[in-house]
């Protein structure tokens, strides 16, 4: 179906793309009057009018983004400053406690050097020193060079560990050298041990030659004991050396987020550590911030309002512009179409025709637009038929399927047309009429007639080909009756020449000669009827009589190869409505193929079986079966294709024509592979 949908727009305050039908727009009355040129002020204002909403939107988005960014930076700065303050407080706490540890050990070393401590008092004070903090593991008295050492106090919870042996001797010796130079207790650099990171504290014993008190610290325990619990729950705290190697870490609530971080040096006697803090707090959550959320919502509402206002203005201006162009667009589209277009309202009056339709009927547009039934291109004697069709279409009961009819040109010439009807609707979906696409089917009809004549010529050629192949058999068939006639007439002449021949003597001979002449005439008449060209005649045919009429010609073909013919007809079959000569052509073609298929088999198998039986739905089925070599798979796929043949001198049109003839009679032609040979079935419907 050819369906033309031409979008036509109109201004509508509540719709963006409003459509109106072709019928709702009047055809252009003439060339449009040119609009006066716009004043410079109006052109400037038109340009500014389009730029103002964009500038407002850009400023609004810029201000909103600036406020949100400023708020985010402020919150980040506050969080960073708070982290710095907390980190400095933790550093101060760690520095204070570690310095106290160094002073306490140095005080014990001074008392030991002054001789104020006995061995028992020394061990007692060192046990108190170890209990002051869980970070101290062991205290030993060592000589310079770490060659001799004596453990004086040990944390009972570290049984099985050797903290002093885990400390590198180079680290202890470096700390001893610093302690001798400064005369005070100093810490050595951190070191890695099997149980974690360690730190040594060395205090020189003055008065004792090359003697030191050496304490070993566990840095993880130092962080656990010296960093407040509240700070550790919201921060990850690390201790590293100046190279950045982390030796101790406390992350009670998990690793830091890496958003707010701070590093500060932790300077203790003898060495410097780096205290690192990483907050568990993520980036600012501005969505939950009421002020920023309100700002975003307000900005969105303002932006939406400006967009809606700009969109409405744009839609109205665009609709006005489209309305000024759609009539010209519709006219150009209709004029360029090669198919006739005709629009009618619900009363049947023509509201639109294109030039193709006007040229088709030979009438100007003015003579058609506004005209109601009866139309000037109707054929007068078929006016009632046209009116019924118009009433049926206008009532809304007609389908959109195409239908064929005839129109008349202004000069009286009649021509066939094919009409496609489709409902014509307005912008609200209400039907306002019908749009028809009309095709001139003259060329199609001529092509169909040429095809029909060509098919008839092919059928005639096929029959002549069949008769040519049967020519030798036909000559033999006619030779017998003609020879018998000649014999009977010669005998009669001899009797007459002898004299005394009576009517009783000549009557039987002349009667037999007459019978043989009738026999020869029947053969010639059947051949003549088969090959002569005539119009097809559809009549009710009896299947048994049809096969009997063909039998004589089939026997002519069978005698050439010595094939035997078997004909079986089931009684009470429904008649076949069709043309006898065309159906005989199909039967002769199928039987000839069957006989040729048995040419190479054993003579005892050359049996051609022709049968007429009851078929599907009460119809009649005629079968032709041979006992030949069968049909190969490669041949079966193209068996009914035109110009496909396995014969050296064949044209490949026999089976194609047979199928066309059977289908023209409403039937089906198919083949079936049997145990011996092949069977072709013609299925005809009941009358």
Asked if residue 284 has pLDDT above 80, the reply is no
* Helix intervals (H) in 168-270: 169-182, 219-226, 229-232
Q: What value does the mean pLDDT take over residues 191-196?
A: 84
Give the range among 280-284, 387-391, 412-416, 486-490 with minimum mean pLDDT: 486-490
Categorize the per-residue pLDDT at 154 as very low, low, confident or very high, splitting at 50, 70 and 90.
confident
* Span 423-453, pLDDT tens digits: 888 777 788 888 888 888 787 877 777 777 7
**What is the rounded end-to-end Cα distance, in angstroms, of the chain?**
33
Asked if residue 226 has pLDDT above 70, the reply is yes
Q: Exposed, middle or buried: residue 327 (CB in 10 Å: 0-12, 13-18, 19+)?
A: middle
Instruction: Give the separation between CA 355 and CA 364, rounded to whole angstroms.
Output: 8
For the domain 444-534, what is the CATH code?
1.10.287
pLDDT of residue 76: 76
- One fold for 444-534 and 538-687: no
Categorize the per-residue pLDDT at 21 as very low, low, confident or very high, splitting at 50, 70 and 90.
very low
Q: What value does the mean pLDDT take over residues 324-332?
A: 73
**Looking at the whole model, is its pTM more than 0.75?**
no
Which is higher by pLDDT, 517 or 360? 360
Asked if residue 611 has pLDDT above 90, the reply is yes
pLDDT of residue 13: 37
* Span 73-101, pLDDT tens digits: 777 777 778 778 888 888 888 888 888 88
Categorize the per-residue pLDDT at 208 as very low, low, confident or very high, splitting at 50, 70 and 90.
low
Asked if residue 559 has pLDDT above 70, the reply is yes
Categorize the per-residue pLDDT at 23 as very low, low, confident or very high, splitting at 50, 70 and 90.
very low
Asked if residue 180 has pLDDT above 70, the reply is yes
Reported for 504-511, long-range contacts at CB under 8 A and 24+ positions apart, including other chains, are none
Q: Tell me the three state secondary structure of residue 90.
A: helix
pLDDT of residue 684: 92
Q: How many CB atoms lie within 10 A of CB 198?
A: 25
pLDDT of residue 279: 82
Categorize the per-residue pLDDT at 621 as very low, low, confident or very high, splitting at 50, 70 and 90.
very high
* Span 564-593, pLDDT tens digits: 888 999 998 999 998 887 788 788 888 888
Asked if residue 598 has pLDDT above 60, the reply is yes
pLDDT of residue 645: 60
Asked if residue 265 has pLDDT above 60, the reply is yes
Which is higher by pLDDT, 111 or 634? 111
Categorize the per-residue pLDDT at 522 as very low, low, confident or very high, splitting at 50, 70 and 90.
low
Which is higher by pLDDT, 327 or 596? 596
Asked if residue 250 has pLDDT above 90, the reply is no
pLDDT of residue 49: 63
Quick one: CA dihedral 75, 81, 84, 89, positive or negative?
negative
Q: Which CATH class is domain 538-687?
A: alpha beta
* Span 641-678, pLDDT tens digits: 665 565 545 444 567 778 888 888 889 988 888 888 88
Asked if residue 11 has pLDDT above 50, the reply is no
Q: What value does the mean pLDDT take over residues 366-387?
A: 85
Asked if residue 205 has pLDDT above 70, the reply is yes
Tell me the average pLDDT of the chain: 76
Give the range among 244-248, 254-258, 430-434, 612-616 with minimum mean pLDDT: 254-258
Unique residue bearing structure tokens 């400006």: 306
Asked if residue 7 has pLDDT above 50, the reply is no
Reported for 603-609, long-range contacts at CB under 8 A and 24+ positions apart, including other chains, are 603/562, 605/676, 606/561, 606/562, 606/563, 606/564, 607/563, 607/564, 607/566, 608/554, 608/558, 608/563, 608/564, 608/565, 608/566, 609/566, 609/568
Retrieve residue 409's tokens: 């040109």
Categorize the per-residue pLDDT at 624 as very low, low, confident or very high, splitting at 50, 70 and 90.
very high
Q: Which CATH class is domain 74-279?
A: alpha beta
Q: Where are the domains of the chain?
A: 74-279, 337-440, 444-534, 538-687
pLDDT of residue 610: 92
* Span 471-503, pLDDT tens digits: 544 554 565 566 567 666 766 776 676 665 566
For the domain 337-440, what is the CATH code?
3.30.450.20
Chain-centre distance for alpha carbon 132: 77
- Which phi and psi angles does 417 have, rounded to 5°? -135, 155
pLDDT of residue 530: 53
pLDDT of residue 453: 72
Q: Tell me the three state secondary structure of residue 170.
A: helix
Q: What value does the mean pLDDT take over residues 494-518?
A: 66
């Amino acid at each position: 179906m050819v369906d033309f949908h031409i979008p036509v727009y109109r201004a509508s305050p509540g719709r963006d793309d409003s459509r109106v039908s072709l019928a709702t727009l009047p055809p252009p009355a003439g060339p449009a009057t040119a609009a006066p040129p716009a004043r410079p002020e109006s052109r400037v204002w038109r340009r500014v009018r389009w730029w103002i909403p964009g500038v407002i939107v850009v400023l609004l988005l810029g201000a909103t983004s600036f406020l949100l960014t400023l708020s985010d930076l402020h919150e980040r700065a506050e969080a960073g400053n708070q982290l710095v303050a907390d980190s400095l407080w933790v550093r101060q706490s760690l520095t204070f406690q570690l310095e106290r540890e160094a002073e306490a050990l140095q005080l014990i070393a001074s008392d030991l050097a002054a001789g104020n401590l006995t061995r028992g008092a020394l061990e007692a004070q060192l046990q108190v020193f170890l209990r002051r903090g869980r970070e101290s593991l062991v205290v030993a008295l060592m000589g310079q060079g770490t060659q001799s050492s004596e453990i004086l106090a040990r944390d009972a919870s570290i049984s099985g560990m050797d903290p002093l042996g885990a400390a590198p001797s180079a680290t202890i010796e470096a700390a001893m050298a610093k302690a001798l130079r400064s005369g005070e207790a100093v810490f050595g650099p951190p070191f890695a041990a099997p149980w974690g990171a360690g730190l040594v504290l060395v205090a020189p014993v003055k008065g004792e030659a090359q003697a030191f008190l050496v304490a070993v610290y566990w840095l993880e325990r130092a962080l656990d004991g010296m960093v407040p619990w509240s700070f550790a729950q919201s921060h990850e705290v690390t201790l590293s050396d100046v190279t950045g190697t982390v030796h101790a870490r406390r992350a009670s609530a998990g690793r830091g987020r890496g958003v707010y971080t701070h590093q500060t040096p932790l300077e203790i006697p003898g060495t410097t550590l780096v205290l690192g803090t990483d907050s568990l707090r993520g980036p600012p959550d501005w969505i939950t911030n009421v002020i920023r959320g309100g700002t975003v919502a307000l900005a969105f509402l303002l932006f939406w309002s400006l967009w809606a206002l700009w969109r409405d203005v744009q839609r109205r201006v665009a609709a006005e512009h489209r309305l000024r162009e759609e009539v010209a667009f519709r006219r150009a589209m209709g004029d360029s179409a090669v198919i006739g277009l005709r629009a009618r309202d619900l009363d049947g009056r023509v509201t639109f025709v294109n030039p193709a339709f006007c040229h088709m009927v030979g009438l100007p547009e003015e003579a058609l637009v506004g005209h109601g039934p009866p139309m000037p291109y109707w054929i007068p004697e078929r006016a009632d038929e046209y009116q019924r069709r118009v009433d049926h279409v206008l009532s809304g009961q007609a389908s959109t399927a195409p239908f064929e009819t005839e129109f008349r040109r202004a000069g009286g010439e009649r021509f066939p047309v094919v009409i496609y009807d489709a409902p014509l609707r307005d912008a609200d979906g209400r039907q306002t009429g019908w749009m028809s696409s009309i095709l001139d089917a003259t060329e199609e009809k001529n092509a169909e007639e040429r095809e029909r004549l060509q098919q008839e010529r092919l059928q005639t050629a096929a029959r002549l080909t069949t008769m040519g192949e049967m020519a030798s058999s036909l000559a033999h068939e006619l030779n017998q009756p003609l020879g018998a006639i000649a014999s009977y007439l010669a005998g009669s002449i001899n009797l007459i020449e002898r004299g005394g021949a009576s009517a009783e003597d000549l009557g039987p001979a002349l009667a037999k000669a007459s019978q043989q002449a009738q026999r020869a005439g029947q053969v010639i008449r059947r051949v003549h009827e088969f090959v002569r060209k005539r119009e097809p005649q559809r009549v009710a045919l009896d299947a048994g009589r049809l096969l009997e009429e063909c039998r004589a010609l089939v026997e002519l073909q069978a005698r050439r190869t010595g094939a035997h013919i078997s004909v079986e007809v089931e009684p009470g079959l429904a008649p076949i409505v069709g043309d006898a000569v065309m159906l005989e052509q199909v039967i002769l073609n199928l039987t000839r193929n069957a006989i040729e298929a048995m040419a190479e088999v054993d003579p005892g198998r050359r049996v051609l079986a022709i049968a007429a039986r009851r078929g599907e739905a009460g119809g009649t089925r005629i079968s032709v079966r041979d006992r030949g070599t069968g049909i190969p798979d490669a041949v079966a796929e193209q068996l009914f294709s035109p110009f496909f043949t396995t014969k050296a001198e064949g044209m490949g049109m026999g089976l194609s024509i047979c199928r066309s003839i059977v289908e023209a009679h409403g039937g089906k032609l198919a083949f079936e592979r049997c145990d011996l040979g092949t069977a072709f079935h013609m299925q005809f419907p009941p009358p």
